[in-house]
Structure 1
Amino acid sequence: MESGLVVIAAFITPLGVQRRAVERLIGPDRISWIHADAALAVCQQRDVKGLYARAAAGTVTQLTGVGSAFERPDRCDCVLSTGSEPVQASAERLREFALNVLRGGSRSGG
């Protein structure tokens, strides 16, 4: 944490092998895994881009959780239950997690 910054980047990593590759690239001591957890039905309901509807129609074939595999993360430092808690609650938990990391606190348990 030399520069005092926390960078939040969203990687589409539905498979464990992809997560391990990202971790090797960034460094295991420099990464925290945050999982935005929502049931498939919730994702379909929030489908602002129409991807799930297109997958149901067969025009999109490789959509994570539908036509393409998704493996639940085996390790998360912070889980945001976006399917069952208000957006503001998830945002606040993410903020608190990032502040804790900045303060040199634990990267797990958020």
Structure 2
Amino acid sequence: MFKTFLSIHASSWAVLVVLLIVTAILYSNNKIKVGTITHMILRLMYIIMLVTGIGMLSLAIQNSGMTSFTWTFLGKAVLAILMIGVTEMLLVRIKKQKTSMKMWIIDSVLLIAVLGIGFSF
């Protein structure tokens, strides 16, 4: 079951990154309706990512208790939730045609941190 959650979770991260870029490009080019559709699909990917991540975390806790591995998982979960919030703020700023370079940097740093933790195990 863990491997199933892991493969879905990893795939959702890949789709999430692609959808973020596509949505940002669409909003930047004033394609608001299509951008809103991809933004909603992106939000669906957040839900899939969160459900599979919580599933993996609960299986890890059941199998091994609260080890350093599980605490690392919890840290990754917190960073991932922060990244979701920053991504949403970033896309809203792009949609409103406001400057968003700081948000891109913060989002990129969080993405690298989350993926680094995720792929190190």
Question: Between Structure 1 and Structure 2, which shows a larger proportion of helix residues?
Answer: 2
Normalising by structure 2, we get a TM-score of: 0.28
Normalising by structure 1, we get a TM-score of: 0.30
Greater relative CO (CA pairs within 8 A, separation 6+) = 1
Question: Between Structure 1 and Structure 2, which shows a larger proportion of strand residues?
Answer: 1
